[in-house]
Amino acid sequence: VLAPGLGLPPCGLAGAAAAFPRIMGLPRRARDAAELRKQSLKPLLEKRRRARINESLSQLRGLILPLLGRENSRYSKLEKADILEMTVRFLQELPASSCPAAAPGPSDSYRDGYSACVARLACVLPACQVLEPAVSERLLEHLRRRVAGATPDSAGDSRGPSSAAWPPAPPPAPSP
């Protein structure tokens, strides 16, 4: 029997919760269990977060003290704020010239990639024995010379001065 006009059982709201156990998609017990799990995990997650912070601060102290020329043993009980302040001060005092550029220019990046490819080819080419050793060595030498002038603009230019240093290889000797 429902209360007139409300669609609720005669026992009121408490009875409604019992009559309609699914509110917001989950049964009441499951919601309570999920909430309980969430609340019980909160302190554990906070403890782990604090442990990570403390470990990072300890590592930072170990890194910054030698750079400042201070003994680790004398500063074993530094406060967290002191470690952070010392680090900030140290980084602010670094000369701008000693800091590497945040990102290399496109030319530097291209040259680095070109050099890495030549180095990898120098390892692979002799091992796979696709070319004769003399031809392989000439190819690698040519590529190494090109590294010095390698830029994105000159990469496709085969008419450059270094292309003259690459004469065609002699034909292989006929096999008897």
pLDDT in tens, 81-123: 999 999 999 888 887 655 555 555 666 778 888 888 888 888 8
pLDDT of amino acid 46: 95
Residue 176 lies in a domain: no
- Same-domain status, 89 and 120: no
115 and 148 in a common domain? yes
Q: Is the same domain home to 89 and 30?
A: yes
Does 114 share its domain with 159?
A: yes
Average pLDDT score, the chain: 74
Confidence of residue 77 (pLDDT cuts 50, 70, 90): confident
Q: Is residue 8 part of a domain?
A: no
Q: Is residue 129 part of a domain?
A: yes
Identify the weakest region by mean pLDDT among 3-7, 29-33, 168-172. Answer: 3-7
Q: Residues 141-154: what's their mean pLDDT?
A: 74
**Do 82 and 111 fall within a single domain?**
no
Q: Is 60 exceeded by the pLDDT of residue 128? A: yes
The yes-or-no verdict on residue 145 having pLDDT over 60 is: yes
Give the mean pLDDT of 146-175: 56
Residue 37: pLDDT band with limits 50, 70, 90 = confident
Lowest mean pLDDT among 17-21, 91-95, 149-153, 168-172: 17-21
- Whether residues 33 and 76 share a domain: the answer is yes
Number of domains observed in the structure of the chain: 2
Are 85 and 114 contained in the same domain? Answer: no
- DSSP assignment of 15-79, as one string? HHHHH--EETTEEHHHHHHHHHHHHHHHHHHHHHHHHHHHHHHHHHHHHHHHHHT--TGGGTT--
From 38, 64, 94, the end of a domain falls on 94
Last residue of a domain, one of 44, 60, 94: 94
Domain of 90? 26-94
Please state, in angstroms and rounded to a whole number, the distance separating the CA atoms of residues 67 and 148.
36
Give the Å distances, CA to CA, from 160 to 39, 95, 150, 156, 163: 70, 40, 11, 9, 6
Establish if 4 belongs to a structural domain: no
pTM: 0.38
Residue 165 and residue 142 in contact, taking contact as beta carbons nearer than 8 Å: yes
Residue 121 lies in a domain: yes
pLDDT of residue 54: 94
- Domain end among 94, 117, 138: 94
